[in-house]
Structures are given as structure tokens and as C-alpha cells.
Amino acid sequence: MKNEFIIPFLISFFSISQIFSQNRILTLDDAINIALENNREIRLAKMNVEKAGAAVDEAFGYALPSLDLNGTFTHFLRKPKMPFPDFEALLKNATYSILFDENVIPRDNNKFVPVETKLQSFAQSNNYEAQLLLTQTLFSSTVFRGIGASRIYYNLSKAELNNTISKTVLSVQTTFYGVLLAKQVSEITNASFLNAQDNLRNVKALFNQGLVSEFDMLQAEVQVENIRPMVLQMENTLKTAKDGLKVLLGIPQEEEIDISGEFVYEQETLAEEYDLISEALQSNFGLKSLDLKKQVDEAFIQIDVSEYWPNIAAFGSYSYAGSSDKWNFQNYSSLTVGLSFSINLWKGNRTKNRVEQSTITYKQTEEQINLYKAFLATQVRSKYSELKRVQSLIDAQNKNVKVAERAYEIAKVRYKEGTGSQLEIQNADIALKQARTNYIQSIHSYLVTKFEMEQLLGRTNHEYLLKYESE
């Protein structure tokens, strides 16, 4: 009875363990989407877009009204004093002057006292004021130019994000097909190893029957052992390639992955070289970013120039205040409206020098654009020539594989019939392995060059670009 329960449990346990131990299979599209979600450079570029969006809102805020509430309370520990005529002497002299003029008492000029100044205080110990100030900019070239500059900077941030996405997609494509190449070459090496082992078994059988010499058997054994290190080397190469892909995708190194894909070559008719260069100069993401940077630099020139223009603003102020010595405040309020006008007449040529610096930055960006255009044209020509070269090789390489396979089969038959040698089989196996490797490498070179050309032309799949548009 116990076995009836234990056996099904063990079967279920090992089945579940096998499921969890299986490799994670990734297609090229899967790998690209994972990289777009995990890539740190894309995250930083996305943050820059969000930051630029906040800068646009901030720039608009400078054109909106500003409402400030200010409040103060002061208590004098020692009241301020200022020199002022002696009010007591003034009052005394004025009183005697009236009495003398009205003949109330006889005039006596000795009654007048000299009027001198003395330190007096007119402040009360406790004072408070609350003010509500409303300000509205009516004209400020700096504010208006800043709004336009912030919008251009926002577009520049989005262009940089698209450029980063495009580069990431190209990196994933290149790395993914690098893993696929290592996998294919590993399979070719394994196939060669299996051929050598199969050949060794056949030679041993013939040796046991006395049909071949011990030398032939030793040669077959040496061939097997010569290929074995290559098998291990290719396995390590494949593992290293997978580890590199994990780093690019942001996948933990301890997670086991495998890829699903194949080298598919389709004969394509390439456009004219001039048309491809024109497309690159129009659609390349890096060039678009530089063009927008140039617009930003131009906007900053206008912002610096705007300091020559005046600023005009309307304002309204309501204040409520009070003062007292014994905390029995006397309160009062005031309401004012008005216009303010300000213009700088001279700042020690600081504005002039800032404009000059901004202009130089603008010219530097122009030079960068011209340099990048020349670089793009050179790259497109190089990739175009490489595609043409590989296209002419692939068909020949495919035919060469078929010839090498036929030659290997003939070498085996000749050896079995006694008209061939182990050297012929070894040479045929080496030629077959090299032909298959050359064919796969040619297709790999074509696909990678094609991906690089598409990135130069700005042909990155829009689904990847729109992935961040909706966020």
C-alpha cells in the first residue's frame, strides 16, 4: 500500500523538478523586449524625458500669475532712535509766542529757550504685518523664450531615448546572433566529433576482423581525441556568449537560458548606395538628436539676448498691519496696484559674453553635425560594400557545403572498399566542418551587417519605440 502512494509521489516530484530545471527559451523578440525593460541606459533616458517634461511645465509657470503670502512680527528689545528737534522746546516757545502776541503777559524774550535736536524714538515695541502679493508678467522675453527652449529640450530628450532604444535593439540583435553562431558552430563540432567516433567504431570492427592495420585504428583514435578539446572549447564559448547575453538583458547569471532561432538567408535586392545615404541623413536617430541639440543651442542664444529687453509686470498688494506698546494693537490695512518696469543698462558686458559663449556652442554643434554626416555616409558605404560581398559568397559557400558532404561520404565508402585511407577521411571531415562553419559565419556576417545598416538608416521597429510612448 505504501508503494502505491510513494511511487506516484516520486513521479510527480521528479516531473516538477524537471520542469523547473528546464532552460528559459528566448526568441529574438523576447530578448529585445526583456532588454528594453531592464536596460539601465534606457531607464536613465526615460528619466531625462520625464525631467524635460517637468521643465516644460516649470517654464509655463513663469508666465502664470504668482501669488505670495508674507507675514512678519517684530518686538523691539531696544527701540531705534533718531535725532530730531526737541518737541518740548518747540511747544514751550510756541506757547510763549502766542501769549506775547495776545498781550496776555508782557513780552520777555528770555522766556524763549534754544531749540536743539535730541535722540527720540517714534516706534512701538510690537509690530506685525501680513501681505498678499499678486504678480503677473506682462512682457518678459526671457520667459517666453524659455518656454520655447524647454519644448525643444523635451523633444531632444525623446530623440535621445529613441536613439538609446535603437542602440539597445542593435546590441541585442548582435549578441543574440552571436550566441546562435556559437551554438551552431558547437553543433557542427559535435557532429564532427560524432563522425570521428562512428569512424573509430567502424575501424575497430575492421581491425578485429583483420581487414585494416593497427596504424589505421590508432589514426582514428587520434582523430577522436583531437576533436574532443574543440568540443569542450566550443561549449565554453557558447556558455560565455550566453553569459554576455544575460548581462545585456539584465537576467541573473544563475538563471539558465537557451535561444530559439536559426540563420535564415533571403536573397535581397539592395537599394542604390546614394538612396541609402540619403535615408540615413534623414532618419538616423543620432543625427536627429544632434539637429534638436542645435535648435536648443539656438534657443539658448535667444534667451541670453533677451536680457537686453525690459521686463514689465503688473502687481497688486493687500497688507494688514498693526503696532502697540502694551499689546493693544492699532490695526490698519492698505491696498495697492501698479506696474513695474525694469531694464538692465549695463552688467559689465556679462550678457554680451554669455551670448558669445552660446553662439560658439551653437557653432560647435554645427561642426558635430557635419562630422557625423560624413561618418554616417562612410558607415553606410562600408556596410553596403560588406552586404554585397557577403551576398556573393553565401551561394558559393552553400554549394561548397554540399560538395564537402559528398566528399566525406565518398571517403568513407572508399575506405570501406579498401581503396581509401584514414587520412582521406580525416581531411574530408576537416573540410566538411570548415565548409559548414564558413557558411554559417557568412550568414551571421550578413545578418549582423544588415542589422547595423538598419540602425544607421533609423529603421528600428516602431513597436519598440512606442513601448515608452504610452508610459
Q: What is the CATH number of the domain that holds 176?
A: 1.20.1600.10
According to the model, what pLDDT value does residue 4 have?
47
Helix (H, G, I), strand (E, B) or coil at 62: coil
255: region left, alpha or beta (phi > 0 left; psi from -120 to 50 alpha):
beta
Q: What CA dihedral angle connects 172, 174, 178 and 180, to 10 degrees? A: 70
Which residues are 340's β-sheet partners? 313
Q: Are residues 218 and 102 in the same domain?
A: no
Q: Is residue 135 part of a domain?
A: no
61 with 88, same domain: the answer is no
Same domain, 433 and 386: yes
Q: At what angle do helices 285-305 and 350-417 cross, to 10 degrees?
A: 170
DSSP alpha helices (H): ranges in 134-213? 141-208
Q: Which residues pair with residue 314 across a beta bridge?
A: 136, 339
For position 9, what pLDDT does the model report? 42
Beta bridge partners of 335: 318
- Looking at residue 363, what is its pLDDT? 94
- Do 108 and 216 lie in a common domain? no
What is the tally of structural domains in the chain? 2
Q: Reduce the DSSP state of residue 15 to 3 states and report it.
A: helix
Query: In order along the chain (471 residues), what is the average pLDDT of each group of 10 residues?
Result: 44 43 80 89 88 88 91 89 77 79 76 76 87 91 87 91 92 92 85 81 80 78 83 88 89 86 81 91 93 92 88 93 88 92 85 89 94 94 91 84 84 76 76 83 89 91 78 50
Rounded Cα–Cα distance for residues 188 and 349 (Å): 73
Q: How far apart are CA 176 and CA 171, in angstroms?
A: 8
Other C-beta atoms closer than 10 Å to the C-beta of 136 total 13
| pLDDT score for 288 | 93
Query: Both 389 and 255 in a single domain?
Result: yes
In the chain, the amino acid numbered 296 is: V
Q: Is residue 192 part of a domain?
A: yes
340 within some domain: no
SS3 262: coil
Q: pTM above 0.85?
A: no
Q: Is 148 in the same domain as 187? A: yes
User: For residue 101, what are the domain limits?
Assistant: 82-120
- What pLDDT score does 22 carry? 60
pLDDT score recorded for residue 470: 52
Residue 2 has what pLDDT?
Answer: 42
Residues 59 and 90 in one domain: no
The verdict on residue 4 lying in a domain is no
- For residues 109 and 250, membership in a common domain is answered with no
Would 342 be classed as within a structural domain?
Answer: no
For residue 132, being part of any structural domain is answered with no
- The reported pLDDT for the residue numbered 67 is 93
